[in-house]
Structure 1
Amino acid sequence: MSEVLADPAGVVTAVIAVVAIAALVAVLVLLARQRAQVRTANGLLELSRQLRQRYDALQSVTKEGVLVQSLSGRVLDMSERAAAILGVDAESATGRPVTDLPLVLVNEQGLSMNPAAVLGHRGPVRPSGPGEPELVGVAFADPEGMHVRMVQVASQLVPAGDGENPAVLTTLVDVTGRREVEAALSRSETQFRVAMENAPIGMALVDLDWRIVEANAAFAELLGTRVDALRGYPMADLAEPEGRAAERVEVDRLLEGGLPRFSLEQQYVRADGLTVWVVLDAALVRSASGSPDHFVVQVRDSTESRLQAEMLTHRAMHDPLTGLANRTLMQEVLQSVLEQPGVVDRVAVIACDLDGFKQVNDRYGHAAGDELLVHVAAVLRAATARRGTVARLGGDEFVVVVQDADGPRAVFEIAAAIHAGLVEPARIARRRVQVAASIGIALADPETVEGGAPALLAAADAALYRAKGAGRGRTEVYDSSMGVATTSSLHRELTDAIATRQLVVHYQPIVDLADMRVVGYEALVRWQHPHRGLLLPGAFLPLVQEAGMSVPLAQFVATEVVEFVSQTTDRTRWVSINVSADQLGDGEFATTLLGEISRRRVAAGRIVVELTESSLVASGTRIRHELTQLSAAGVPILLDDFGTGVSPLSYLRDLPVAGVKLDMSFTSGIPDDPTAGKVARALGALARELAMVTIAEGIEHDEQARYLHRNGWRYGQGWLFGGAQPGDVSR
């Protein structure tokens, strides 16, 4: 120790060495720390670079643009998407105040807005969540002109966004396309609703439970109701019960994906209880996911088109000139009748051929011949009196298929009535043309029944040829002969019958088909013959016309009816009088009727005139004038035999007609004859559209009454409600 102290230079050297070593160690430690800090900094820089790359990649695919500003409004960062939305350059915008950017912002009303106020933060200076989005427009110009891009803007404060200070983070979303889609959808919805509300045909939106959500005015008008009454109403309940099953099947097929739409024709029940034919078109609308959402329904009134179709069908089976059945229908009817059990003594055929028809055609022309055929058809129809089917085979050949419980008696009565009906000359082209007929009769027997319709028709033809060969104007029976009672004695007695008041008026009730309440009567004249008993009109009316006594008979009936009406206790009931063209034209009938109405102080509406033989009412005639006179005085005019060849539809337009009466030939076919039912339904719809009174005659059972009431016929008449009775039964 002493040696060391004795050598001071050595001590200094040792100290210096120790210090140098310590300094070296310190330097090495500092260098190691610096290298670690560099490595950390490099790692942070790499991480920052990676995060920036991820940020840029995220911004490249997102629909949102990002704008970062200082609290003073200086742009710190702007994504490419934000730059594209605002229409500026991101690199040149960074570091500049947002107010210096070439931006034109407008509100939804088109007024200019301050970019700093729109893109900046408007709350307290502390970190917060995103503010309420605001919709603004970014205006920009292009070669096509000025356009506005709609942008949704939301801003919030983020901590340490600008060094140690908070920054403003603004998100920008271009909603121009969405707004355009929404506007387009709104326009489409508006256009659809306007089109639906103003469509001339019925339209409705129907939910998946097949209930009406919305309907237009045309649909409500078709059903006779209001739009608000249809909302929530089941579509199925609109249809007649028999059509609902088919409708349900079609709806289920739509829901199951079988078809995108369906079309179905069926009957709908109106609010007033009447029925109309409609074509229902339904389409299923699916949501964006493909699941069923609702139905769009169109309902078109097809009543008129069905009427036309039924009329075409009717024409296909009927002679267009006379309205009688044609050969096809007659053969079908006869064959069908012969296939039924027990037809012997219940079925017969009459073959009828006019004598001298060719001479009428040659002398007066084919138009006169056609008028004569129409006249003969009316005679045959009246003579048959619903006891069979009358057909025209062509030319002047007619056939009557007789069906009656007592066939032999009925067939001879019809043959006699035909001869009697042809005694009166036909009025053709202002001339009186006399015509007669040869008749052949064939009764159904086991042999002819076995041969079917052709055998029975051949037998009737053979009898007809024998009648012509035996002198014409007569009747012959196939393989037998039978005396036919003459009607000449009736003619001699007729004048005395009117003078001695042997003619009487009976009244057949007319009821309201809704409640079967009697509302009126049809006046029917009878002859209370002192020896032959009560004679029906068919036995003597042709003789009345031949004797030129049609107008006195009509005046007699008018006087009796007005007196009857004046004495009835129920002042609401009315009575109809049958008037033919022969009884009109000279004013005598109208004068008598209106005079009696005035004298008896009866309301004119309680007397109704039923016009028969309307085919004879030519345009501009006195007959038309007389009908107009009656109508103007308050006497309703009904068109009888509606739907047959002698009641053309043009008279509904040309004559002062207040109502129609369905011919009993259509009523009798219900429900067995589908064509008769369809025509009755179609004619009822036509009359209802014209706001006319509707009466169906010849109703014999409840099913006919219900069917006709469902299809537009308000009143009914027939044996179901009672036959014609003397006038005192209803007083």
Structure 2
Amino acid sequence: MSSAATSAFGYLGVDERLGAVSVVISFIAISSLVWVLVLMGRQRREVDRANELLALSRELRHRYDALQSVTKEGVLVVSLDGTLLDISERAATILGVDGDASIGRRLTDLPVVLVNEQGLAMNPSAVLGYRTGAGRAGYTVDSELVGVALPGGTSPQARMVQVASQLVPAGDGEAPAVLTTLVDVTGSRQVEAALSRSETQFRVAMENAPIGMALVDLDWNIVEANTALAELLGTSAEALRGYPMEALGPPESRAGERLEVDRLLGGGQHRFSLEKRYQRADDHLVWVVLDAALVRTPSGEPDHFVVQVRDSTESRLQAEMLTHRAMHDPLTGLANRTLLQEVLQSVLEQPGVVDRVAVLACDLDGFKEINDRYGHPAGDEVLVHVAGVLRAATARRGTVARLGGDEFVVVVQDVDGPKAVFEVAAAIHAGLAEPVRVARRRLPVAASIGIALADPDTVAGGAPVLLAAADAALYKAKGAGRGRTEVYDQTMSRSSGHDLLRELSAALEAGELVVHYQPIVDLADGRVVGYEALVRWQHPYRGLLLPAAFLPLAQEAGMAVPLGQYVASRVAEFVATSPDRSTWVSVNVSADQLGDGEFATTLLAEISRHRLMAGRIVVELTESSLVASGTRIRHELTQLSAAGVPILLDDFGTGVSPLSYLRELPVAGVKLDMSFTSGIPDDPTAGKVVRALGALARELAMVTIAEGIEHSEQADYLYRNGWRYGQGWLYGGAQPAESIVPTETGAAQ
């Protein structure tokens, strides 16, 4: 303090001096308090800020842990020196380590075995830690695929992992660290491997498939084809690539094929199958079955077609052969009765057929004498010769048919029908003028011919009326002598169905209907065990007529039941008077003869009257397709079976649903249709059917009989495949009762 101030201060009093000091002290104290309060507020704010940051840190850690619990990726935080700073639960699971125990340890100390795709061991620090290329923060090194061998695993590549690393700033306090992500791709790699194996297997299977296969794009062009398809078409798989599928077939089939393809693309169907022709590279045509299926993407969009092409040429030819057999006479190759009626009916349904169509019925004169004297083989040669004469005489102006025996019919179609049919008749007589050479013999053959011209009345009546008219004219020609031709007119006594019916009724009363018996043998030793009863008509001037000549008339006229009763009575008499008590006789019964109880009543009465043992008379049910479950017919069959009359199902294998009849009807046995017998052993398809039907019948414990056996090879084949009994020309044809002489063993010849 200066002297002036001191002197001035010295003038103040003590009290004044003390008050000044107090003011100064108060000012200093207040200033200090304010400063302390400011410092305390600042500290409080810093504490609050720290608490907020701690809470935020905890929340971020909670969110980080929650995110790691649901993500498929594992996360590692590694310092630049290779120390593990943090590891997620997913990463610990992927590596197979304890997460909490691993934190703070160096990567090289972890129990982790890593291998590359070649199976060589890798350094965990070099894979999971700092890697070259991560030199700056935010830069990610390209991911790497490694294998993780888990503890206790048997495979060095038990788990496939995709690894990616990124350098992040302030990862370890203030220092940068490495953030490594792990993605387990084992499942996806397995799926890829499985898809690759599937594709390889498909291509190997496609290439080595025995049938043609192709992958086809949505434009119906071939993308890939296998060797079998190329060989089928006579070309190479390379030449087929890019080739339009529809161009493989003829132009007329392309529209239908394109329609099926469009239906597939539109979702109208999932696949389609077509039988069509393909043209080979050598211009030969082959029949194929085309099967196509559409492959869609996972989203349902069309992607491509898978096509199979199977060669059906042989099977189609076999089907055509079977169809031909069903519609043609096996001996002569001519049309049979079924085909003739279809052809004639279709012709008559066309407009303007009057004077353009005529029917010629032909019957050989003296043919029975040829059969009786020289045997059936000679008769067959004569029939084949006559068939050739009729073909040549017709000269492609119509259809020639053999109805059975020595009965032939020609349907003539020509602009001038009357002229053409008389020319055909004259040519037939001229062709038969020369004797037929059979072995070293020359056998004279003549024919009687009846002609019916299509007129408004016969056309209105259809095929049966026109055929009946030609048959009536033939009656007159036969009655007038050999080798004659007659033309139908209204004055002929047999011009109507009523007259024909009256003649058949008179024949039944006069005993002109006779029963012949064809032997049934045991295929094991050829011993005769039974007979099949077959009705014949011993016509006064037409000779012996086979059932095909009059049974249709009897059925149409409602005479089936009386005819069946007549045959049942004759058979019962034959069985009762036969000295052989071990053989049985089967009787053919159609559905027309059942239903009203008359046939069943007659048969059971005859069995009782003659005191025949059970099983001596057997019923063969024909026309089984007409039998409905629960009808009166089934009741009668059950009644007959209960009375000891076995029921056989005839024509086995040909009905609409023969298998259902085996279950629904009281059937004791089956007779194999001769259409199957005729095909063995040469026809493999017929052989398979014979084996299958035989196995089915045996499984049901049924009697098995095969019809139509003509040579020993057929008999041997049938016996080897389980058919017990057989009948046919090999064992003899049907003979009158008086011609059957029992042997000492009780068998009949």
With the length of structure 1 as denominator, give the TM-score of the two structures: 0.61
Q: Does 1:76 align with 2:85?
A: yes
Which residue of 88, 96, 100 maps to 1:87? 96
Distance 2:286 2:143 in 1: 57
Q: 1:294 to 1:44 in 2, by over 3 A?
A: same
Show the counterpart of 1:415: 425
Q: 1:5·1:11 contact (CA, 8 Å) conserved in 2? A: no
Q: How large is the Cα RMSD of the aligned pairs?
A: 3.0
Which residue of 226, 234, 249 maps to 1:239? 249
Q: Does 1:306 align with 2:316?
A: yes
Distance 1:258 1:342 in 2: 44
1:90-139 Cα deviation digits (max 9, x unpaired): 11111110111110001111111110111122226432421111000000
Q: 1:69·1:167 contact (CA, 8 Å) conserved in 2? A: yes
Distance 1:391 1:137 in 2: 83
Show the counterpart of 2:690: none
1:551-700 equivalences in 2 (<5 Å): none
Which residue of 36, 41, 48 maps to 1:39? 48
Alpha-carbon offset, residue 384 of structure 1: 2.0
Q: 1:99 to 1:474 in 2, by over 3 A?
A: same
Show the counterpart of 1:105: 114
Show the counterpart of 2:148: 138
Q: 1:409 to 1:157 in 2, by over 3 A?
A: same
Distance 1:259 1:403 in 2: 46
1:280-304 Cα deviation digits (max 9, x unpaired): 2222211122222222222222232
Distance 2:119 2:378 in 1: 84
Q: 1:357 to 1:386 in 2, by over 3 A?
A: same
Q: 2:294·2:304 contact (CA, 8 Å) conserved in 1? A: yes
Show the counterpart of 1:292: 302
1:132 is paired with a residue of what secondary structure?
A: strand
Distance 1:340 1:253 in 2: 37
Distance 1:171 1:34 in 2: 41
Q: 1:343 to 1:101 in 2, by over 3 A?
A: closer
Show the counterpart of 1:555: none
1:312-343 Cα deviation digits (max 9, x unpaired): 33333222222111122222333344445554
Q: Does 1:318 align with 2:331?
A: no
Q: Does 1:61 align with 2:70?
A: yes
Distance 2:271 2:191 in 1: 27
1:423-434 equivalences in 2 (<5 Å): 423-428=433-438, 432-434=442-444
Q: 1:29 to 1:468 in 2, by over 3 A?
A: same
Which residue of 251, 257, 265 maps to 2:275? 265
- Greater CA drift, 328-337 or 285-294: 328-337
User: How many residues in Structure 1 have an aligned counterpart in Structure 2?
Assistant: 486
2:142 is paired with a residue of what secondary structure?
A: coil
Q: Does 1:193 align with 2:172?
A: no
Q: 2:452·2:487 contact (CA, 8 Å) conserved in 1? A: yes
1:689-728 equivalences in 2 (<5 Å): none
Q: 2:363·2:449 contact (CA, 8 Å) conserved in 1? A: yes
Alpha-carbon offset, residue 16 of structure 1: 4.8
Q: 1:141·1:147 contact (CA, 8 Å) conserved in 2? A: no
1:217-236 equivalences in 2 (<5 Å): 217-236=227-246
Distance 2:180 2:126 in 1: 12
Q: 1:353 to 1:64 in 2, by over 3 A?
A: same
Distance 1:257 1:405 in 2: 52
1:168-208 Cα deviation digits (max 9, x unpaired): 11111101011011111111111111111222222222222
1:190 is paired with a residue of what secondary structure?
A: helix
Q: 1:298 to 1:11 in 2, by over 3 A?
A: same
Q: Does 1:165 align with 2:175?
A: yes
1:131 is paired with a residue of what secondary structure?
A: strand
Q: 2:150·2:158 contact (CA, 8 Å) conserved in 1? A: yes
State percent identity of aligned pairs: 76
- Greater CA drift, 453-462 or 321-330: 453-462
Alpha-carbon offset, residue 385 of structure 1: 2.0
Structure 2, unmatched stretches of 5+, are 1-8, 492-678, 684-749
Q: 1:5 to 1:297 in 2, by over 3 A?
A: farther
Q: 1:161·1:167 contact (CA, 8 Å) conserved in 2? A: yes
Q: Does 1:468 align with 2:478?
A: yes
Show the counterpart of 1:613: none
Q: 1:345·1:445 contact (CA, 8 Å) conserved in 2? A: yes
1:133 is paired with a residue of what secondary structure?
A: strand
Distance 1:339 1:19 in 2: 140
1:365-404 equivalences in 2 (<5 Å): 365-404=375-414
Q: 1:87 to 1:432 in 2, by over 3 A?
A: farther
Q: 2:294·2:306 contact (CA, 8 Å) conserved in 1? A: yes
Give the partner amino acid of 2:301.
S
Give the partner amino acid of 1:122.
R
Which residue of 161, 175, 184 maps to 1:174? 184
Distance 2:436 2:218 in 1: 66
Structure 1, unmatched stretches of 5+, are 482-647, 653-731
Distance 1:479 1:289 in 2: 78
Q: Does 1:277 align with 2:292?
A: no
Distance 1:315 1:4 in 2: 160
1:377-434 Cα deviation digits (max 9, x unpaired): 1222122222221111112110112233444443333333323433444455665544
Q: 1:164 to 1:272 in 2, by over 3 A?
A: same
Alpha-carbon offset, residue 145 of structure 1: 6.5
2:141 is paired with a residue of what secondary structure?
A: coil
Alpha-carbon offset, residue 51 of structure 1: 0.5
Which residue of 17, 22, 38 maps to 1:29? 38
- Greater CA drift, 279-288 or 182-191: 279-288
Give the partner amino acid of 2:128.
L
